[in-house]
Amino acid sequence: MFTPTAPPSTPPRTIGRSLQSVFVMAAVSALMLGGLGSRLAYLQLIEGDRNRQLAEENRVRLVSKPPERGQIFDRNGKLLVGSNPSYSLFLWPIALEEAEWPIALQRLSHILRVPVTEIQTNLEKEGYNSPYRVRVARGLTIQQVVALEEARTELKGVEIDAETMRYYPNGDLAAHVLGYTGEITDSELESLEDRGYRMGDVLGKLGVEAALEDQLRGEWGGQQVEVDAMGEVIRILGEKPPIPGDDVILTLNSDLQKKAEQVLGNTKGAIVAMDPRNGEVLAMASRPAYDPNIFSSRISDEQWQQLQAKEHPFLNRALRSFAPASTYKIITTVAGLESGKFSPGTVLPTFPYLEVGGIQFWDWNRAGFGPLSFQGAMTWSSDTFFYQIGRSVGGEVLAEWSRKFGMGQLTGIELAEEESPGVVPDNAWKEEMLDEIWYIGDSINMSIGQGYMQATPLQVAMMFAVPANGGDLVQPHLQLDLQNRREWTKSINLKPSTIQVLREGLRDVVQVGTGAALRTNSIPPVAGKTGTAEDQPRKSHTWFGGYAPADNPEIVVVAFTENSGGGGGSLAAPMVRSILEAYFQGQKTPAPKP
């Protein structure tokens, strides 16, 4: 029997399926290669510059090195300003992506106790792609250094480096002369960038630190170093050592400066001591003061509040202008004698008051002194005598001689940015400033250093130097001129008889007049003048200016107290006596020259 069999099964297809597999694999490969190519194109074309820089900078870094700032010494070689070793914290912007920095900044903020925004601002100013390090903290404590080292593996792009920090070994001594340093501000950087300054630079802010910045600064150096993956230096590829700034020697005598500040104590005011022969400033004290060390690192809120509690501690009162009061009678005497309207032998009556235009201008003792010569009027500081001189010569002549004595203009001292030129009023000045004409009463007020007349303690010291040195105007200066390259004096062409009247009158002030506080055997003979300036409705200012030895002067001292009340003879004169005692006693054991 025939049994039908099933037809043979169809063999499976292989050719078509193989082709499909090939196409799938090709498509996947194409996608992978396309993605990889796109990524490579992105990395090379879009991020190529940064990645090349990052790859190179991961191996080679530029490490800038700031120069050590020049030191500042007094005339006898005593250190006034130096630099101490310190640690600073730097960020290396390119080490991390911008999105990676916030975590590191949070950790740094916690360790440094500084707001994140403050650190981030410094980083953003330099730019996240910058290869240069950015200083974000100076003067790190040992505790901060330890904490940062412990967190080093978590703080990529964060580096600690040794630098020097400005140090003022005597605290607030001569703070207004020396000034202080601080990091450059945005506005300062904008004007100084073309002179090679960079963000994070330290520069002088006030005083000599600012005035002699170019000498003290020095030149930046740096290193090109190769580092490993941990940031450790493998080798130095190239180096340019920083060039330190020049040292500076000042005219200051630090012992005399210390005495001047002790004498002022908590009294608001200023003391200037100067050599009348060449203008060297031996001491320049101002109160209240501040300690410049607090600005060498980040100033705390507590320190700032303490400064704010003082009354303008950054103001150098030796360079600010006030009514010079009766010390100005030196210029009134010169104006009267040099005008030809009065002779050295002139004698004038004095009165309780002088009435001009219906206004009574009173003498300070409310009684007058009877007939007086120029010397006698200086001795007793008779106001009505000098009213008559001022009324006769007029305001224009007083103004002319004021300018010849250096008033109403900058003195030429290095601290010009902080100096007031003062005010020498005349008819043109009054019309411009007050829209009024000049009256005889204005000349009368000016004749005794009141009214609109304004002078600084330094300018008053220059005024006293003229009779002290025999008729020369000196230019005060703070930088010691060891080679005597400059001529610091110029004659203002006074008659010898005028100088003699001034010297005799100023000597009599101390011998028999209002300067009795200087009548002592502890110092050589002194010549000088008191002054008490009204400052309504506040208390009066007091002045005393003098020089010694009277017959061969080598030092001028001016003391000024602001709104202290009292009189120049009772408050300012004893201060000058203390300075002169310190000066002449110190000469017995002269300090070695630098």
Active site residues: 326
- Measured CA to CA in angstroms, residue 544 lies from 460, 521, 523 at distances of 10, 19, 16
User: Do 219 and 242 contact (CB within 8 A), yes or no?
Assistant: yes
Where do we find the tokens 């000196």?
474
Which backbone phi and psi does 566 adopt, to 5 degrees?
A: 80, -165
Which residue, among 318, 285, 328, has the nearest Cα to 452 in the 3D structure?
328
Where do we find the tokens 């009023």?
425
- Count of C-beta atoms within a 10 Å radius of residue 42: 11
The DSSP 8-state label assigned to residue 482 in this structure reads: T
Which residue, among 270, 274, 266, has the nearest Cα to 285 in the 3D structure?
270
Helices (H), 174-265: 175-178, 186-192, 207-211, 213-217, 254-264
Which backbone phi and psi does 373 adopt, to 5 degrees?
A: -85, 175
Cα angle, residue 318 at apex, residues 312 and 323 outer, rounded to 5°: 95
Cβ-proximal residues to 404 (8 Å cutoff; 6+ apart), any chain: 473, 492
Which residue, among 396, 521, 412, has the nearest Cα to 473 in the 3D structure?
412
Alpha-carbon span 224 to 233, nearest angstrom = 10
User: Do 572 and 560 contact (CB within 8 A), yes or no?
Assistant: yes
Where do we find the tokens 């610091």?
488
Alpha-carbon span 22 to 20, nearest angstrom = 5
Which backbone phi and psi does 126 adopt, to 5 degrees?
A: -75, -35
Q: Where are the beta strands (DSSP E) in 146-201?
A: 158-167, 181-183
Q: How far is CA 120 from the centre of its chain?
A: 29
Alpha-carbon span 348 to 371, nearest angstrom = 5
Gap between the terminal Cα atoms of the chain:
140
